[in-house]
Structure 1
């Protein structure tokens, strides 16, 4: 069972079908057992899975402890950067009895861009440097202008983003759905460029192709 959308997608790509997942995993054909932050512990225990996959950032400690308390075995991942991805996926692969995946490419031609990445509105939020999304940008030669933020997901005023003079505003398709009117608002900071939020923030089987897709779309933005 997987309580992590990225892990659900990855397991499926490996030919391993979870018995259930969260409602955020985009698998309407599978049984849902709540969300990533509010899983139904009783429902999960009733299914008696061999393993439950959780992630330190995606899921809450108290839910992991509750699952352990009812006797379930957890695979606890901590995917916070591309540098850790291969090792974490190897842990998952070993747990489900499949071959470890190949690591993603070490480098890409640097895009030489400075970017602001809004992920929420009211309040405005962005990503700090110690996040998977920021590590994806670094691999592509894109500097996150909030990389030095002390919080992983800081709140901010748009004036603060403008003061950092980004070259582009990368507008992901999730977790927040930004409208064209929102893009007009963000255009006061820098040119907005829509990107696939799953490619930027989801890790796992998609990552190698996601990096290629992001590089192509941002290369066009870089001119």
Structure 2
């Protein structure tokens, strides 16, 4: 059958599309049962759909590579806090809707063994549902799992810009951490810029590769 096409062409793959709501961010509460901690955060996704990241009240930002996300859950399949103290900290009684329907559980795994969960709670059920649907769509996008060279460089750049220091600059330690497998090339790139390390332009780093 000469007219037959491989399935990947029939899928008409589209790049990730991040909604304005996810780009602008929403207010969530991040909770950890093991540590008995509750932290108000702003949850966001970068415009390219590479990372889920959250910023706390101290302007500290953590991020998660969306290609590591295996599932995003709300409703009965989510993990809800069992500890009474933690439930009290979440102030469950003052929020609208059933607890499990406001939960967003992000399941991550780097392999079949190392599976973990991140737990967030939204203020409304519809908000939790929307975030679950859109995050899972971004995490399962086939193009995100098969980046070309330019997209890989862009992803590295986006990661660095999401965690600046208090002065708004990219810490050199983050560059070394990101490219830890090729430290010598990083050192050569930094030296070739002939600038103080705190002001190293990332584009210069990329072009010297």
TM-score (norm 2): 0.26
As a proportion of its length, which structure holds more strand?
2
TM-score (norm 1): 0.25
As a proportion of its length, which structure holds more helix?
2
Greater C-alpha Rg = 2
